[in-house]
Structure 1
Amino acid sequence: MSKSRQWWSTLVSIALALLYALAFEHAYASYINPVYEYAHYYYFPVPLPLSVATYLFLLAPCLFYRQSEAPSAYGIALLYTLCYVPTQLMMLFNWNRDAAELLVVQASLAASMSVFMAFAAAGWRPAAQQVPLTRLKPIMGLLMVVSLVLLVWTYRNHMRFVGFEDVYDLRFDTNEIDTGPLVDYFVSWLSYCFLPFYLARGILNKRVGDVVLAISAAVLIYTSTGAKAMILMPPIMLIMHTLMRAREKFLPVLLIVLTLALIIVTDVLSDDGIGFWVKFIFLLRTLCAGGWANFVYYDYFTQNGLTYYSHISVINTLTDAYPYGKYSLGQTIGLHYSGSELANYNANFWASDGFAALGLAGIPLITLAVFAVFFLINRVSSNYPARFVALWLSGFWLGMLNLPLSTALMSAGGGLTVLLLWFAARPAPRHTAPPIEPAVDSPPRST
Structure 2
Amino acid sequence: MTVERGIIWILLSSLPLAEYKGINKISSFFSLFLYLFVYIPFIHAIMVLYNISDMQTYSYSLVMFIFMILYFKIGNEWTPIKNILVKPQLPFKFIEFITVMLTIAFVAIAHDHMHFVNIFTESSQLYELRSENSEAESLGGIGYLQGWLFGAFYPFVLVHYLDQKKWIKVSMALFGYIVLFMVDMQKMTFLMPFALIVLYQITRLNEKKVSFYLHSYIMIAIICFSCIVYVLQDSELIFTIAAILLLRTVCVAGWLTQLYVHFFNENPYTYYSHINVVNFVTQNYPYSAPLGKAVAYGSQNANANFFLTDGIAAGGLQGICIIGIFFLALLIIINSITARYKKTDMFVLFMPTIAFFLNTSIFTTMLSNGLLPLILIVACTNLKYNNK
TM-score by length of 2: 0.87
C-alpha distance in 1 between matches for 2:2 and 2:170: 51
Query: Of the two structures, which has the highest relative contact order with CA contacts closer than 8 Å and spacing of 6 or more?
Result: 2
Q: Does the Cα contact within 8 Å between 1:201 and 1:210 map onto a contact in 2?
A: no
Distance 1:290 1:206, change over 3 A: farther
Equivalent position of 2:238 in the other structure: 275
1:396 aligns with 2:353: yes
Q: Which amino acid aligns with 2:177?
A: A
Q: Structure 1 residue 61: deviation in Å?
A: 1.0
Deviations 1:59-98 (A, max 9, x none): 1211222334212221111111222222222334554433
Q: Which of 59, 62, 76 in structure 1 is aligned with 2:14?
A: 59
Q: Structure 1 residue 141: deviation in Å?
A: 1.8
Q: Which amino acid aligns with 2:112?
A: N
Deviations 1:219-254 (A, max 9, x none): 111111111111110232234335542353154344
C-alpha distance in 1 between matches for 2:33 and 2:161: 22
Q: Does the Cα contact within 8 Å between 2:27 and 2:74 map onto a contact in 1?
A: no
Q: Structure 1 residue 381: deviation in Å?
A: 1.7
Q: Alpha carbon RMSD of aligned pairs, Å?
A: 2.7
1:115 aligns with 2:67: no
Q: Which of 19, 35, 43 in structure 2 is aligned with 1:88?
A: 43
Q: Does the Cα contact within 8 Å between 2:110 and 2:139 map onto a contact in 1?
A: no
Equivalent position of 1:406 in the other structure: 363
Q: Does the Cα contact within 8 Å between 1:355 and 1:362 map onto a contact in 2?
A: yes
Q: Which amino acid aligns with 1:371?
A: L
Equivalent position of 1:333 in the other structure: 295
Unpaired runs of at least 5, structure 2? none
For the residue of structure 2 that corresponds to 1:175, the secondary structure is: helix
Q: Which amino acid aligns with 2:68?
A: M
C-alpha distance in 1 between matches for 2:34 and 2:202: 15
C-alpha distance in 2 between matches for 1:75 and 1:243: 18
Distance 1:383 1:75, change over 3 A: same
Unpaired runs of at least 5, structure 1? 1-45, 426-434
1:216 aligns with 2:179: no
Distance 1:422 1:282, change over 3 A: closer
Q: Structure 1 residue 57: deviation in Å?
A: 1.0
Q: Does the Cα contact within 8 Å between 2:92 and 2:381 map onto a contact in 1?
A: no
Q: Does the Cα contact within 8 Å between 1:151 and 1:224 map onto a contact in 2?
A: no
C-alpha distance in 1 between matches for 2:6 and 2:195: 32
Q: Aligned runs of 1:158-237 on 2, under 5 Å?
A: 158-164=113-119, 165-166=123-124, 167-179=126-138, 182-237=141-196
Distance 1:83 1:310, change over 3 A: same
C-alpha distance in 2 between matches for 1:65 and 1:345: 31
Q: Does the Cα contact within 8 Å between 2:27 and 2:71 map onto a contact in 1?
A: no
Distance 1:61 1:289, change over 3 A: same
Q: Does the Cα contact within 8 Å between 1:196 and 1:391 map onto a contact in 2?
A: yes
Equivalent position of 1:70 in the other structure: 25
Deviations 1:74-131 (A, max 9, x none): 111111122222222233455443345323322222122111111125357579xx99
C-alpha distance in 2 between matches for 1:280 and 1:47: 34
C-alpha distance in 1 between matches for 2:222 and 2:202: 14
Distance 1:276 1:373, change over 3 A: same
Equivalent position of 1:238 in the other structure: 197
Q: Does the Cα contact within 8 Å between 1:124 and 1:381 map onto a contact in 2?
A: no
For the residue of structure 2 that corresponds to 1:267, the secondary structure is: helix
1:321 aligns with 2:284: yes
Distance 1:180 1:170, change over 3 A: closer
1:305 aligns with 2:260: no
Q: Which of 77, 95, 104 in structure 1 is aligned with 2:59?
A: 104
1:358 aligns with 2:315: yes
C-alpha distance in 1 between matches for 2:195 and 2:42: 22
Q: Aligned runs of 1:291-302 on 2, under 5 Å?
A: 291-302=254-265
Q: Which of 342, 348, 353 in structure 2 is aligned with 1:385?
A: 342
Q: Structure 1 residue 346: deviation in Å?
A: 1.6
C-alpha distance in 2 between matches for 1:240 and 1:300: 38
% identity of equivalent residues: 24
Q: Structure 1 residue 288: deviation in Å?
A: 2.0
Q: Which amino acid aligns with 1:201?
A: H
C-alpha distance in 1 between matches for 2:315 and 2:151: 28
1:157 aligns with 2:87: no
For the residue of structure 2 that corresponds to 1:354, the secondary structure is: helix
C-alpha distance in 2 between matches for 1:217 and 1:400: 22
For the residue of structure 1 that corresponds to 2:103, the secondary structure is: helix
Moved more, 177-186 or 399-408: 177-186
C-alpha distance in 1 between matches for 2:178 and 2:94: 23
For the residue of structure 2 that corresponds to 1:157, the secondary structure is: helix
Q: Which amino acid aligns with 1:238?
A: I
C-alpha distance in 2 between matches for 1:377 and 1:271: 43
Aligned pairs, how many? 376
C-alpha distance in 2 between matches for 1:138 and 1:358: 44
For the residue of structure 1 that corresponds to 2:135, the secondary structure is: coil
Moved more, 94-103 or 61-70: 94-103
For the residue of structure 1 that corresponds to 2:270, the secondary structure is: coil
Equivalent position of 1:367 in the other structure: 324
For the residue of structure 1 that corresponds to 2:191, the secondary structure is: helix
Moved more, 219-228 or 134-143: 134-143
Distance 1:293 1:177, change over 3 A: same
Distance 1:269 1:203, change over 3 A: farther
Deviations 1:177-232 (A, max 9, x none): 22466522111111111221233223344331232122111211111111111111
Q: Does the Cα contact within 8 Å between 2:81 and 2:336 map onto a contact in 1?
A: yes
Q: Structure 1 residue 174: deviation in Å?
A: 0.6
